[in-house]
Amino acid sequence: MPWLLVELLTAGLAAWLWGQLSRIRRNVRHLLQQGKVNEVSDGLPVVRATLQDLHQLEVRLREIGRQATEEDFSLRAILSSMVEGVMILDRQFRIRLLNQRLQDMFMLPRPPVGRTVMEVFRNHFLYQVIERTLQSGSAQSAELQIELREADRFTTRHFQVTSVGLRPGQEGGFDGILLVFHDISQIRSLEAVRKEFVANVSHELRTPLSILSGYLETLLEAEVDPETTRRFLETMYRHAKRLNALLENLLLLSQLESGRLPLHVTRIAAGEFCERALERFEPVIAGAGVAVTVSVPEGLSFDTDALRLEQALSNLIDNALKYGLKPGLHLCLAAELDGSDVVLRISDNGPGIPLRDQPHIFERFYRVHKDRSRDAGGTGLGLSIVKHTMQLLGGSVSVESSPGQGATFILRFPRGF
Ligand code: ADP
């Protein structure tokens, strides 16, 4: 039987015996007071000695009870303060004890004490780990992947489980099993993100590089007329520029994510700031006849890093012109105060963004139309840079778009830094 149960039982037994002894002692004292002892025994000293013995026994039992309660209390305090989930099973794999953390990890509505580990966890690998511990007699460790139902959907959680035999029995077996669960889901999900990122970067780099080397090979090995050579060089230049943009964006993103980018906060006049951000795009705006509206309350100013905010705003204007470009494109920049926040809206009346893509567009390398983005020179990192820039500035970015009716990107940041 697990030692914890023994201790609990000792405490219970001690309390019960103490109650019984008190009753006997009360009865003997009553007999003494009433002078009835002489009728049953003429040895008054014997009765007195018995009474004293009873008293000592009572004191001793009370002490044992207190110790057991204290030990139980310390054990519970340790178990409940642990970040790991802890569970103790008996030889029949029935759960004898588990801490609150384990109950929370597996979202168990109530402590499943008395039920078997298979009934509660329904995981064959967990069962195997426990069996291996009993068979081998040594501690076992394994990684478990468990599907847990959170609200109305299933999520995959990863646990590192260590299983140890408790108190070797006489025939070499164990009295029970101690299991310790460590939630490593976050580590695994970070690893998955890193792998996906490396795969994406390799893919993005490989495409322009293979185009460049293909054209170079043709130019070196074949007789190419000047007209075709010029076309080839133009294509190569476009891809080299994209490669450069990709590397620059990657570098910027990694600096933003590290949070080590120094900020230079200055007072900015909102109207001037919007006009200045639009200047860079003047050739495209004028060339395509884009209608531009800037709507900023008179005298609105705020404190932030102008360079960073302009970078974010430029990415959004660039996207609106890239993806919304059509006759009659209307681009609107509007700023307003909302409490202590400044809200800057960048709207276009382009094709908008499908609802299913909207939750993902701020992820690295996510594009709604891969080819359209690449043709337009996009790296798939623009919105991710906007998101991280706004976080660095203590703000946020969000999108509102009804497909077919344009898109509005909303930058929100504190007016004072
Ligand atoms: P990219 O380098 O491809 O432009 P972004 O991260 O800037 O990458 O944008 C992600 C995707 O979001 C784009 O590929 C595009 O499909 C979509 N998108 C962004 N802005 C707009 C917009 N104003 N209108 C329509 N689609 C947009």
> Residue 405 C-alpha to ligand 1 middle, in angstroms?
15
> Pocket of ligand 1, candidates 371, 375, 383: which has the most ligand atoms within 8 Å of its Cβ, to mutate?
383
Classify residue 31 by burial, with Cβ atoms within 10 Å: 0-12, 13-18, 19+.
middle
Phi, psi of 24 (to 5 degrees): -60, -45
> Residue 338 C-alpha to ligand 1 middle, in angstroms?
27
DSSP string covering 215-261, please? Answer: HHHHHHHS---HHHHHHHHHHHHHHHHHHHHHHHHHHHHHHHHHT--
> Residue 409 C-alpha to ligand 1 middle, in angstroms?
11
> Residue 399 C-alpha to ligand 1 middle, in angstroms?
11
Which of ligand 1's atoms lies nearest the C-alpha of 406? 24
For the entire predicted model, the pTM comes to 0.68
Q: Which two tokens stand for residue 189?
A: 């999900």
Cβ atoms of 323 and 371 within 8 Å: the answer is no
End-to-end CA distance of the chain: 62
| pLDDT tens-digit series, residues 7-28 | 555 555 555 666 666 777 777 6
DSSP string covering 258-304, please? Answer: HT-----EEEEEHHHHHHHHHHTTHHHHHHHT-EEEEE--TT-EEEE
Predicted pLDDT at 161: 94
> Residue 195 C-alpha to ligand 1 middle, in angstroms?
23
Domain ranges in the chain are 3-81, 85-183, 187-261, 263-417
> Pocket of ligand 1, candidates 290, 323, 374: which has the most ligand atoms within 8 Å of its Cβ, to mutate?
323
> Residue 369 C-alpha to ligand 1 middle, in angstroms?
8
At residue 21, the 3 state secondary structure works out as: helix
Longest dimension (CA), the chain: 136
Least trusted range by pLDDT, from 57-71, 181-195, 247-261: 57-71
Predicted pLDDT at 77: 79
Q: Which two tokens stand for residue 136?
A: 């081998």
Strands 396-401 and 341-348: unpaired
> For the domain with range 187-261, which CATH number is right: 1.25.40.10, 1.10.287.130, 3.40.1190.20, 3.30.70.20?
1.10.287.130
Mean pLDDT of 53-75: 74
Type and span of the H or E element at 95: strand 95-98
> Residue 367 C-alpha to ligand 1 middle, in angstroms?
6
- Residues with a CB atom less than 6 Å from ligand 1: 315, 319-320, 323-324, 348, 350-351, 353, 361, 366-369, 373, 378-384, 407
Cβ atoms of 415 and 265 within 8 Å: the answer is no
Burial 172-191 (b: 16+ CB within 10 A, else e): eebbbbbbbbbbebeebeee
- Other CB atoms within 10 A of residue 43 CB: 12
| pLDDT tens-digit series, residues 169-215 | 666 677 889 999 999 999 999 998 889 888 989 988 998 899 999 99
Q: Which two tokens stand for residue 231?
A: 């076309």
Which of ligand 1's atoms lies nearest the C-alpha of 368? 16
Which of ligand 1's atoms lies nearest the C-alpha of 374? 3
pLDDT greater at residue 22 or residue 284: 284
For the packed helices 306-324 and 270-279, what is the interaxial angle rounded to 10 degrees? 50
Superfamily of domain 263-417: Histidine kinase-like ATPase, C-terminal domain (3.30.565.10)
> Pocket of ligand 1, candidates 242, 249, 314, 319: which has the most ligand atoms within 8 Å of its Cβ, to mutate?
319
Task: Count CA atoms closer than 13 A to 46's CA, side-chain side.
Answer: 6
Predicted pLDDT at 177: 92
Cβ atoms of 85 and 101 within 8 Å: the answer is yes
Predicted pLDDT at 1: 42
At residue 198, the 3 state secondary structure works out as: helix
Domain 85-183 and domain 263-417, same fold? Reply is no
Q: Which two tokens stand for residue 93?
A: 């794999």
Predicted pLDDT at 86: 94
> Residue 226 C-alpha to ligand 1 middle, in angstroms?
36
CA pair distance 291, 281, nearest whole angstrom = 12
- Other CB atoms within 10 A of residue 223 CB: 5
Give the residue, by CA position, lying nearest to ligand 1 atom 3: 380
Strands 291-295 and 330-338: parallel
> Residue 323 C-alpha to ligand 1 middle, in angstroms?
7
| pLDDT tens-digit series, residues 289-301 | 999 999 999 999 9
Q: What is the DSSP letter of 314?
A: H
Angle, CA 183 vertex, CA 166 and CA 115 arms, to 5° = 50
Which of ligand 1's atoms lies nearest the C-alpha of 366? 10
Give the residue, by CA position, lying nearest to ligand 1 atom 13: 367
State how far Cα 137 lies from the chain centre.
Answer: 36
Predicted pLDDT at 7: 53
> Residue 297 C-alpha to ligand 1 middle, in angstroms?
28
Strands 330-338 and 301-305: unpaired
Give the residue, by CA position, lying nearest to ligand 1 atom 10: 367
Predicted pLDDT at 407: 97
Tell which CATH architecture fits domain 85-183.
2-Layer Sandwich (3.30)
Q: 65: Cβ–Cβ under 8 A, 6 or more apart, which residues? A: 10, 11, 14, 15, 18
Give the residue, by CA position, lying nearest to ligand 1 atom 19: 319
